[in-house]
Structure 1
Amino acid sequence: MVDEVTERGVARRDVESLVGMPVGDLDLYEHALRHRSLFRGLTTDGTESNERLEFLGDAVLGTIVADVLYRRFPDRAEGLLTRTRATLVNGKALAGYAEALGLGPLILMSENMDSSEGRSNQTILADAFEAIVGAVYLDLGFSAARRFVTDVLDRCVDLEEAAADRSNHKSRLLEHVQGLGLDQPTYEVVSEEGPSHDRWFTVAAVVAGERLGEGEDRSKKGAEQAAAREALATLRDREKAEA
C-alpha cells in the first residue's frame, strides 16, 4: 500500500507514528507542522502557519494536564497543582516532549531556518508540539488528544516527582526516612534567643538518633523546615557517596 503524502511532503505514516494512532485529516497535521518562516516575504493573511493551531493546542494541553493532575493527586492543594502544571507545560518541557517524539525532522520550515538549526530551536519545537495537540483535538476529539498527551507525559515525566511539595521539607524528609525503613524524624530546639517579640530559633533534625541538619528562623516551625531541608540533603549526599 502506497503511503499517503501531502503536497508539502508530510507522510501519513510519519504522522501516525508521531501521535501513536491512526489519523483522519492529514492536511490538518501538515498545517500543524508549518513554521511561519515558510511564508516570509509572501503576502498572507496570517493563517497559513501553525500559529492558530498552536493557540488552540496550548488551551487543550493546559486543560488535559490540569485534568490529569486533579485526578492523579486528589490530596494536593490548588497552589501546588498550579505550579506543577506550569512546570509541565512551559516552553522547555514542551520542547523536550517534541524532541522525545522526534518532531523536529517533520517540521516544515524555510531553507534558511533549517540551515540555522531551526529544527533544534526550543521555541519552534514547543510551538509545533502545541500545534500537533491542537490538530489531534480537531481531527479526533478530546479523548484522543488526552490519550496523546498522557502517553507523552508517561514517557517523559515522573509525575510523582513533578508534583512533589518541595516547600514542605518536613514531609519530604519523613517520606524519605520511611522509605529507608527508619523511624520518623524528631526535632530538637538547640537554642532560643532574643526578646519575646523577636525570637530566633535554632532547631536540629534528628534521624535515627543523629543530628543531620540544623535550621534557623524567627519561628520554630520555620526552623524545623530549614533543618529538615538540610537533613534531607545530608542523607542524599551520603547515598550518592555510597552508590
Structure 2
Amino acid sequence: MIHTETKAREVEESIGYIFSDRRIAVEAVQMAAPQIALIRNGAFLGLNNNKRLSVLGDAVLAKVLCSVWFDARNPRGQVLSQAQWTQMRNESLSNDALARRAYQVGLDQCVITADSKPVVSPKMAATTFEAVIGAVYQDGGDAAVQRVMQSLGFFDHELLTVTSQILLFPL
C-alpha cells in the first residue's frame, strides 16, 4: 500500500520542490496501473496513473523553455533564431534528455511500478519527469515550474548561458 506522505517526500527531495497538494506528487510517479489505492490521512483513496500529468508536463516544459529562449539575446544583442530554439528544445526536452535528468535526480527511484515491471525504463523515466513537471505546474503554476527547471539545470544550455551575459550591457 502506498502512503502519500512518504512517497511525496521522495519526489520533493528529488526535484527540490515542496508540494501543497502531495497527492498530485504521488500521482505524477504512479505507473503501476490505470488506478491504484493509496492511504492518505488514514483513508483509502484511488490514484490515477501519470499519463495525463505527463501530457501537461510536456507542454509546460516546452512553454517555459520557449519563454526563456524568446527573451534570450546573443552577445551582439540579437534574438536567437528558430533553428536555435529547435536545437535547444531537442537537446533539452527529448525523451533521452528527460530520462537522463530523471535518473540524475533519482526520480526513477520514486516511480510506482507494477510488480511485473520493477525496472524503470528510460521511456518510463522521461514520462515520469514530464508528469512531475505537470504536477508542479498544477500545484504552483509557471513560477514554480521555472524555479524547478532552473534548479535542475534546464537554463544552463550553452545558448542561454552565452546569451545571459548580454543582460549586463544596455542596448
Category of TM-score, reference length = shorter chain: 0.7 to 0.9
* 4+ long deviations beyond 4 Å: 161-164
What CA deviation, in whole Å up to 9, does each residue of 1:97-154 have, x standing for no partner? 101110011000111100xx2x2x1100000000000000001111001111122125
Report the equivalent of 2:61.
Answer: 61
Consecutive unaligned residues in structure 1, runs of 5 or more: 41-46, 165-243
CA distance in 1, matches of 2:29, 2:7: 12
Match of 1:28 among 16, 24, 28: 24
Structure 2 residue 96 is the aligned partner of structure 1 residue 92: yes
Residue 51 of structure 1 aligns with which residue?
A: 51
- How far 1:71 moved relative to its partner? 2.4
- Tell me if the contact between 1:19 and 1:148 (Cα under 8 Å) persists in the aligned partners: yes
2:14–2:106 contact (8 Å) kept in structure 1: yes
> 3-state DSSP class of the match of 2:3?
coil
CA distance, structure 2, for counterparts of residue 97 and residue 125 of structure 1? 9
Please say if residues 95 and 129 of structure 1, whose CA atoms lie closer than 8 Å, have aligned partners that are also in contact. yes
Question: Per-residue CA shift, 1:169-215, capped at 9, x if unaligned?
Answer: xxxxxxxxxxxxxxxxxxxxxxxxxxxxxxxxxxxxxxxxxxxxxxx
5+ residue gaps, structure 2 = 36-46, 163-171
Change (3 A) 1:123 1:52: same
Name the structure 2 match of 1:76.
80
- Taking only aligned residues, the RMSD between alpha carbons, in angstroms, comes to 2.7
Number of residues paired by the alignment?
A: 147
Opposite residue 112 of structure 1, the aligned amino acid is: S
Contact 2:28/2:135 (CA < 8 Å) preserved in 1?
yes
Match of 1:38 in 2: 33
Higher RCO, 1 or 2 (CA under 8 Å, sep at least 6)?
2
Report the Cα offset of residue 160 of structure 1.
1.3
- CA distance in 1 between counterparts of 2:21 and 2:70 reads 32
Cα displacement (A) at 1:66: 0.9
TM-score, reference length from structure 2: 0.75
In structure 2, distance between residues paired with 1:106 and 1:33: 6
Q: Is the 8 A contact 2:8 2:25 kept in 1?
A: no
In structure 2, distance between residues paired with 1:102 and 1:16: 11
Structure 1 pair 59–21 and aligned structure 2 pair: CA distance change class (3 A)? same
Query: 1:161 & 1:89 partners in 2: Cα distance?
Result: 15
Identity value in percent: 26
C-alpha distance in 1 between matches for 2:11 and 2:88? 29
Over alpha carbons, which structure has the higher Rg?
A: 1
